[in-house]
Amino acid sequence: MFPLAQFGVLSALATALTSVLSALLLLALTRQLWSLRWSVTRDKESSLPLPKGSMGWPLVGETFHWLFQGSNFHISRRERHGNVFKTHLLGKPVIRVTGAENIRKILLGEHSLVCTQWPQSTRIILGPNTLVNSIGDLHKRKRKILAKVFSRGALESYLPRLQDVVKSEIAKWCSEPGAIDVYGAAKSLTFRIAVRVLLGLQLEEERIVYLARIFEQLMNNLFSLPIDAPLSGLRKGIKAREILHANMEKIIEEKMERQQADDEYHDAFDYMLSSAKEHGQQLSIQELKETAVELIFAAHSTTAEDLGYESHSSPSGVNVEKDDGSADTETTCLLDGGRQRDEAGFPQSRSHLPDLSLDKLSQLRYVDCVVKEVLRFLPPVSGGYRTALQTFELDGYQIPKGWSVMYSIRDTHETAAVFQSPELFDPDRFGPDREESRSARFSYVPFGGGVRSCVGKELAQIILKTLAVELIGTCKWTLATENFPKMQTVPIVHPVNGLHVHFSYNYPL
C-alpha cells in the first residue's frame, strides 16, 4: 500500500495533468471552431474553395505572428499556400494577394469588384474625411480637389522651399561629427517638408520637434488592434491625432482668412482651398484638420523609408555615359556648370547648387533610374487594403463578398518574373536598353494603380530626386556599420536598428 503522503502527491499530479490536458483540448477546440466560423462564410453559390491558410487564434488571429515575424510571415505562408492565401490580422479576416495579374484585377476592379478599406485602427485614427478612407463619388470629388495641389504648376512652386529644406537638413548631417541615423533623419526631413512645403507653416524649431514626436506616436499606432482601451495602441493613436488637430486648428483658420483676401498661392493648402472653391465645395474645419494630418502622413509614408535608403547609395552610381558619348556625372553637367571654383577646382560655395526646376530634374535620366529602383527595392507602402463588393475569383479561389483583401506591392516586386535578379539593387534595369518593367504593367506598382493610384506620386519622386541631387552635389558618405542593416517590413518598412551613416562635405572649406 502507498503511504498517504505519496498518494496525495500522485493525486495532485494527476489533477494538474488533467487540468493541463483539458485546457489544451479546450484551446484546440476553440481554435477549430474559430477556423470553422470563417469557413462557413464562404459564398455557397460559388463552387470555388476559399484560399488556403490559417485564421490563427480567436480574436487576435495571426496578428502577433505578423508583427513579430515581419516579412518572413508573408514569405513563409506564400511558399506554403501560394500567391493567394487567407489569414486573420488586426481583427479582420484577410486574403493576401501577390502577383501582377492578381493585382491588376484588384486595382482595375475598384468600385465594381472591390472598394478601399484600410484596417479599422487606421480609419479611426486618420478620420472619415480623408482621401484614403473615402469611396465612390466622395473619393472622386476629393481627387478632383487634390489634382490642383499636385499639378505641374503647383509642383514647380514647391521646389524652391523643398530645396531649401533639403539643403538645411543635409548641412546638419555633414556638421555632425558622429554617425547619423539616416532613417530617423529621413523621418525628420519628410515631416519638415510636409509642414513647410505642403502646409506652409513657419514654426519654431522646438515646436517642430514636439509635433514630429506626436506625429511619430500616431504613425507607430496606425496599425493596431481596434481596441479602444487605456494604454492600447488605438487610444495612443487617437490621442496623438487630437493633439495634432488642436495645433492645426488655429493655423488653418488664419490660412482660410488670408486665402479669402489673397489669391496668391503659397503652399499645397492654398491650392486645395482654391480648388475646392472652384468646384463649388466648402470644406469644414474638421475636414481640413484631417486633410492636414493626411498630407503629413502621405509625405511621410511615401518617402521617409526611401529617403533613408537612397541616401546610403554610392555617389559613384550616377556616373553614366551621356547621349553625346562623353562620360560624366549628370548632376555636375546639368546643375554645377555655373558655380565658381577655386584654383584647386573645388566649388567656392559648399551649399548653393543652382536652383532646381522640373525641367532640370526631368533631364537626370540615370537619377530617375536610381529612384525607380529604390521604389522597386523598398516600396514605401507595402500594399493596399480593399473589401470585396461581390464574390470573385483569383488564382482558382473564391474571394467572398465582404472579406478584406490586401494586395502586396513588395512581394510582387520581389517575385515578378520580368525583373532579372530581383534581389540585386540594379538601376540599369530601368534604363533604355532594358526597361524591364515595360513588358508587364502591374509588375511594378510602387504607388498602386487604377483610380486609387497615389495622387502625390510625382511629388514623392521629386523629393527623392532633389535629395539625390543635393547629396551628390555637396557631400560624401560612408556606412558606419560593417553591413547594411536588416530591414523590417511590418507594419512599415524600416531598418531594425537604424541606418547609421557618416556624412561630410566632398570639398574643403
State the CB neighbour count (10 A cutoff) for residue 501: 20
pLDDT of residue 378: 85
**H-helix or E-strand spanning residue 475:** strand 475-479
State the CB neighbour count (10 A cutoff) for residue 499: 26
| Angle formed at CA 421 by CA 420 and CA 423, multiple of 5 degrees | 135
pLDDT of residue 376: 93
**Cis peptide bond N-terminal to 380, omega within 30:** no
Instruction: Report the Cα–Cα distance between both ends of the chain, in Å, rounded.
Output: 95
- Number of separate domains in the chain: 1
Q: Is 120 in a helix, a strand, or coil?
A: helix
Strand partners, 49: none
Contacts of 160 (CB under 8 A, 6+ apart): 355
**Residue in this structure with the C-alpha cell 473615402, named with its chain if needed:** 134
pLDDT of residue 243: 94
421: which DSSP letter? Answer: S
- 454 known ligand binder: yes
Calpha distance 385→297 (Å, rounded): 16
Note the pLDDT tens digit of each residue in 281-303.
888 888 888 888 888 887 776 66
User: Has residue 426 been placed in a domain?
Assistant: no
User: Has residue 176 been placed in a domain?
Assistant: yes
Note the pLDDT tens digit of each residue in 461-485.
999 999 999 988 888 888 888 888 7
Q: Which CATH number does the domain housing residue 225 bear?
A: 1.10.630.10
pLDDT of residue 342: 47
In the chain, DSSP finds a helix count (H) and a strand count (E) of 17, 14
Give how far Cα 104 sits from Cα of 39, 401, 408, 440, 450, Å: 27, 18, 12, 10, 9
Calpha distance 123→401 (Å, rounded): 20
pLDDT of residue 472: 87
User: Has residue 48 been placed in a domain?
Assistant: no
110: which DSSP letter? Answer: B
- To the question of pTM greater than 0.85 for the whole model, the response is no
Contacts of 322 (CB under 8 A, 6+ apart): 328, 330, 333
pLDDT of residue 324: 40
pLDDT of residue 97: 95
Residue 142 burial by Cβ neighbours in a 10 Å radius (0-12, 13-18, 19+): buried
Residue 238 burial by Cβ neighbours in a 10 Å radius (0-12, 13-18, 19+): middle
Complete DSSP assignment for 316-384: GGGEEE-TTS-EEEHHHHHHSTTS-B-TTS-BS-SS-PPPP-HHHHHT-HHHHHHHHHHHHHS-SS-EE
Q: Residue 215: give the domain boundaries.
A: 136-372+451-505
User: Has residue 311 been placed in a domain?
Assistant: yes
CB 49 within 8 Å of CB 400: no
Calpha distance 198→70 (Å, rounded): 32
User: Has residue 191 been placed in a domain?
Assistant: yes
User: Has residue 466 been placed in a domain?
Assistant: yes
320-327 CB contacts, 8 Å cutoff, 24+ apart: 320/365, 320/366
Note the pLDDT tens digit of each residue in 399-441.
999 999 999 998 999 999 999 999 899 999 999 988 888 877 8
User: Has residue 469 been placed in a domain?
Assistant: yes
User: Has residue 315 been placed in a domain?
Assistant: yes
pLDDT of residue 498: 80
Calpha distance 352→339 (Å, rounded): 8
- Ranges of residues in the chain whose predicted pLDDT is under 50: 314-328, 337-348, 350, 509
Contacts of 447 (CB under 8 A, 6+ apart): 302, 375, 381, 453, 454, 457, 460
Q: Are strands 92-97 and 392-394 parallel, antiparallel or unpaired?
A: unpaired
